Amino acid sequence: MVRSARKQLEIREREDRIVEVAREILLREGFPALNMDRIAREIGWSRGTIYQHYASKEDVLAAMMVQTHARRVELFDSAAKRPGSPRQRIAAIGVAIDVFMELHPGYFKAEQIVALTADQSKVRWERVDHCYAQDNRCFDVACGIVREAIERGDLVLPEDVALETVVFGLWSINFGAHFIGSAMSKWPELGIQGTIYDGLSFNILAMLDGLGWRPLSTEFDYRAFAKEERERILADRLAEHEA
């Protein structure tokens, strides 16, 4: 197979374009409106051509999931590497996740569809597995931070409690809050004030204070820290965008 550089680029671009168009349709009109014909018409190539890139509709979704995941992991890693106390870094990760959710409102959809509809034959599993592996790595990174907190003496856990349990709690509440938030349009008002992040961070602060993870929220102003952190991330993003 001889393939010119020109052609390779074109193919790469089209691959991205397919995912991009699929994402727009999914977000704007929902899963039932997403079909290959539609994508084909919008990118201006025939259905057959799309199948040269992706094995099935679900495979396109899986690719979408990979793309978004990569972005999330990037923000996660960058937050985990911030200077400061372990608890500050956990807070930074919380902010990163929240910023990510704002930037990718349809995040859960592709993932859910893949989880529900993908089957052996129809999806290139390396895509999906790659995402799960990334998730696991993030989990491990978070565990590393908790471990450091324990080593420094910031956090003391009961003997029969694994440090993974703490990360599981953080993961759960973050996941749950953002999931509920992204589906909230369907929920009528529940009397919740402020943003998802406000509610979430209040509860996480309580949780980590309850564990006695120092510095406690009475000893350090995590609210102000989060605000700075958010601005920093958005500024970085803007700079990167302009570059």
Partner DNA sequence: AAGCGCTTCTGACGCCTTGTCATTTCCGCC
Partner DNA sequence: GGCGGAAATGACAAGGCGTCAGAAGCGCTT
Binding site for a second copy (CB under 8 A): 30-32, 109, 112-113, 115-117, 119, 132, 135-136, 139, 143, 161-162, 164-166, 168-169, 171-177, 179-180, 183, 186-188, 190-194, 198-200, 202-203, 205-211
- Between CA 182 and CA 175 the distance in angstroms is 11
Q: What would the two tokens of residue 20 be?
A: 């991009």
Spatial separation of the C-alpha atoms in residues 168 and 173, rounded to whole Å: 9
Give the Cα separation of 224 and 212 in Å (integer). 20
Handedness of CA 111, 207, 77, 184 (dihedral sign): positive
* Rounded Cα gap, residues 190 and 221, in angstroms: 28
Pick one of a second copy, DNA, none as the site partner of residue 31 (Cβ within 5 to 8 A by kind).
Answer: a second copy
Residue 112 near which of a second copy, DNA, none (CB within 5-8 Å, type-dependent):
a second copy
| Shortest Å distance, C-beta 124 to DNA | 12
CA distance 88 to 12: 39
Identify which of residues 13 and 219 has a Cβ nearer to a second copy in the complex: 219
List the single partner that 51 binds among DNA, a second copy, none, CB under 5 to 8 Å by kind. DNA
Q: Which amino acid appears at position 73 of this protein?
A: V
Binding-site partner at residue 84 among DNA, a second copy, none, CB < 5 to 8 Å by type:
none
Which of the choices DNA, a second copy, none does residue 119 contact, using the CB cut-off of 5 to 8 A by kind? a second copy
Residue closer to a second copy by CB (options 139, 225) is 139
What whole-number distance in Å separates Cα of residue 204 and Cα of residue 173? 8
DSSP E strand boundaries for 84-172: none
Binding range to DNA, per CB under 7 A, among 19-27, 43-51, 185-193, 208-216: 43-51
Q: Which of DNA, a second copy, none does 47 bind, CB closer than 5 to 8 A by kind?
A: DNA
**Choice between 70 and 115, CB closer to a second copy:** 115
Rg for the chain, CA atoms, rounded: 21
Give the separation between CA 12 and CA 62, rounded to whole angstroms. 16
Q: Which of 234, 223, 180 is nearest to 198 (CA)?
A: 223
Among 12, 51, 129, 206, binds DNA (CB under 7 A): 51
Nearer to DNA, 58 or 111 (CB): 58
Stretch 86-125 residues interacting with DNA (CB under 7 A): 122
Could you tell me the two tokens for 27? 């977000």
The footprint of DNA (CB under 7 A) covers 1-4, 6-7, 10-11, 34-37, 45-49, 51-52, 55-58, 122
